[in-house]
Amino acid sequence: MDSLEKINADFATLFRDGRTLLDKGCGAVINGCREEAFRKFVDLGGIPFKKEEYSYLNLLPLFSRDYNVVLKYIRQEVDMNETFRCAVTNLQTNPVLTVNGWWFDENIEPEIPEEVVICSLREASVKYPDLLARHYNHYASAARNDGLVALNTAFAQDGIFVYVPDDVVMERPLQIINLLRANTGLMAFQRNLIILGKNARASVLVCDHTLSEQEFLVNNTTEVYLGPRARMEYYQVQNQHLGASQINSLFVSEHRNSVFESNLVTLYGGTIRNNMYVAMNEEGGECHLYGMYILDKNQIVDNFSYIDHIAPHCISNEHFKGVMDDASLANFSGCIRVRPDAQKTEAYQANNNLLLTDTARVNTKPQLVIDADDVKCSHGATVGQLDEEAMFYLRSRGIGLEEARMMMMFGFAHDIIQRVKLEPLRVEIDNLIDKRLRGELSKCHHCVMKCKK
Amino acid sequence: MLKIKNLHAAVDGKEILKGINLEIREGEVHAIMGPNGAGKSTLSSVLTGRERFEVTEGEIEFNGKDLLQLPAEDRAREGIFMSFQYPVEIPGVSTVNFLKTAVNEIRKYRGQPPFPAGDFLKMIRQKMELVGIDNKLLNRSLNEGFSGGEKKKNEIFQMAVLEPKLAILDETDSGLDIDALRIVANGVNKLKRPDNATIVITHYQRLLDYIVPDVVHVLYDGRIVKTAGKELVAELEEKGYDWIKEEVGR
């Protein structure tokens, strides 16, 4: 049996044998999706291998390792709230922790408007079956060809649930801190659902971290529903160790005049795959996806996006930039789909890469699929080295070669980071980028936000 | 201060400078004029250490040091400054951070501690006033989206902050209207001291109406073919460069 078949067979066994545990404590909506999802996983050939969406990423080495899969919540013997007093200077957030994909059972009660719900997904699936039935797994289905998303649905047991009802504004940003901690290699699944009613507003900051040095593979799927005129800012900082890999999928369903803005910063990790699917279902929607990745050693980051302009008069704007050192690999694949009815669409996409060595690699594939005739769309990608003329300019002012390189790279990254609207967070991320570029973050296994070095 | 002896330089294998001799002392302002293609910009590039330009013969001594042995950043740290003809836009790097880094890198080279953070902005403000530059430029990305005039003013502002011993103004007047020209020239004049020197490289007389040179050189086909006092400027303006070409017999 070759390794792909073995991996797929192992998942089949795990699904069959673990079914009772999987279902335990989860509401009917979550459990009701499992069978079909697993069937889809099987029908798609299991783990994506030589598929178009994964053409530059070989997942087999990642899935061939030995991991434990734990289908129930394991209490942590340390107080995470203490280990993880995570604060961005001057930014007050409502922190919520997950451990290995599960809602941390000692999370501090967030200070939120009373109509807002922030709780574990499994709790929500029991308490709010109607909301789950209306939203759960409705948006993740956009990934029609992705076996990993189907796998997540088959194995999902917990994660974060957020509900901001109509006309409610959640002033304080929600900070979701995803922690990984285990004694042996671990594979985990996490599933999140965020629902913003009409006119609702929220900012969400997601921080991905590792607290122990084992190998991790996390399959994390987040669905976001934005009602009419809802606005959401979404920030994610990925800072894990080199043995921690993740498949991170984000699905956004936008409705009339809603606005989604995201900024995805990849600082450290093993193999990181980010899937971003945005559906512009009704007129007037707006979405801005920004991303910055800084890689070295043998890191791999693979960003995949699919922006679906279904309705007319929507705007989407996507800009990802990356700096690659050593033998790292970055992939970017972005598709803008404009459907026949989506007239007056404005869609822009850009991907710029800086290669610092001869051994670093970039694959970039911007795609436009347009079936409407009255649209404004553009896409473009660049791969290059530091601009010689600019380097000379800096050096001619007395700035040494190394420092000039730093400034250029920092400037390159800041172009993306300046889009972060929460000022304290922007300052903090700028600091992190600066440290990252100077190689000062490399040994940090902990929360980037509290890194005092 | 600066001694250039028999300087030959080539770019992409083509010889541009064919034996330049030039000496500049403290307190002097030299103008280097000449038609397009004479080698004016090559000379400034060689002085500031642009790597694309290869020195094939000759030497340059700057305050007793062999300039050609130094990388571009060390030349700046020794006190050479060039106002660029085309200042580069650097997105994401704020002008204030750039200046702070430059000042402190230079101080480090000279064995001085970093500029006290509290006094830095005060110093910057003074220099901004001197050059007449807008406060808002400080936090904007370096030169990004600046107009031609703003870029040139920003060059002189940087010069004011870095206090070079030798300033090279490379075609600083190009692309400036008369008001901007006056402001830029005024800034340069205010920065003039008995212990520094200036080289004004220009095609036209305009700038030299405001920055009055002590010595004027005409560069033609890679050599300095004429050196005289400031009266040469008017003569060139009146007669153009052709008579020089005839005089040197080419």
Domain range annotation of chain B: 2-247
Residue tagged 């294998």 (tokens): B13
**How confident is the model over B52-79, as a mean pLDDT?**
95
A413 to chain B: which residues are within 8 Å by CB? 92
Interface touch B73/A415, C-beta < 8 Å: no
Confidence grade of residue B177 (pLDDT, cut at 50, 70, 90): confident
Q: What is the pTM of this model?
A: 0.87
Interface touch B98/A401, C-beta < 8 Å: no
B109 to chain A: which residues are within 8 Å by CB? 398
Confidence grade of residue B115 (pLDDT, cut at 50, 70, 90): very high
Query: Looking at the complex, does the CB of residue B83 fall below 8 Å from at least one CB of chain A?
Result: no
A321 to chain B: which residues are within 8 Å by CB? none
Q: How confident is the model at residue A442, as a pLDDT? A: 53
State the Cα angle at B167 between B164 and B169, rounded to 5°. 150
Interface A:B, Cβ pairs < 8 A: 78
CA A443 to the chain's CA centroid: 22
Q: How confident is the model at residue B236, as a pLDDT? A: 86
Q: How confident is the model at residue A84, as a pLDDT? A: 64
Interface touch B73/A400, C-beta < 8 Å: yes
Domain B2-247 is in which class?
Answer: alpha beta
Range of the domain at A446: 3-450
Q: How confident is the model at residue A449, as a pLDDT? A: 41
Q: How confident is the model at residue B133, as a pLDDT? A: 85
**Left if phi > 0, otherwise alpha if psi is -120 to 50, otherwise beta: which for A73?**
beta
Mind giving me the DSSP string for B40-85? HHHHHHHHHT-TTEEEEEEEEEETTEEGGGS-HHHHHHHTEEEE-S
Compare CB distances from A410 to B73, B88, B93 and report the shortest one's residue: B93
**Left if phi > 0, otherwise alpha if psi is -120 to 50, otherwise beta: which for A439?**
left
More confident residue, B226 or A452: B226
Give average pLDDT by consecutive 10-residue segment, chain A, 453 residues.
89 97 97 97 95 92 93 84 61 91 92 95 97 98 95 98 98 94 95 98 94 93 98 95 95 98 95 98 98 94 98 98 95 96 96 95 94 94 93 97 93 93 90 87 47 36
What Rg, from alpha-carbon coordinates, does chain B have? 18
Q: How confident is the model at residue A439, as a pLDDT? A: 83
Contacting residues for A388 by C-beta, under 8 A, at least 6 apart = none
By CB atoms closer than 10 A (0-12, 13-18, 19+), residue A110 is: middle
Q: Nearest C-alpha of chain A: how many angstroms from B102?
A: 5
Interface touch B93/A396, C-beta < 8 Å: no
Confidence grade of residue B11 (pLDDT, cut at 50, 70, 90): very high
Compare CB distances from A399 to B73, B84, B88 and report the shortest one's residue: B73
Q: How confident is the model at residue B249, as a pLDDT? A: 66
State how many domains chain A has. 1
Q: How confident is the model at residue A89, as a pLDDT? A: 58
Q: How confident is the model at residue B243, as a pLDDT? A: 81
Q: Per residue in A279-308, pLDDT tens?
A: 999 999 999 999 999 999 999 999 999 999
Contacting residues for A190 by C-beta, under 8 A, at least 6 apart = A98, A101, A102, A156, A158, A159, A178, A218, A219, A220, A221
Residue B135 backbone dihedrals phi, psi, to 5 degrees: -50, -35
Q: How confident is the model at residue B250, as a pLDDT? A: 55
Q: How confident is the model at residue B125, as a pLDDT? A: 92
Q: How confident is the model at residue A446, as a pLDDT? A: 45
Q: What CA–CA distance (Å, rounded) separates B108 from A341?
A: 62
Interface touch A392/B50, C-beta < 8 Å: yes
Interface touch B88/A387, C-beta < 8 Å: yes
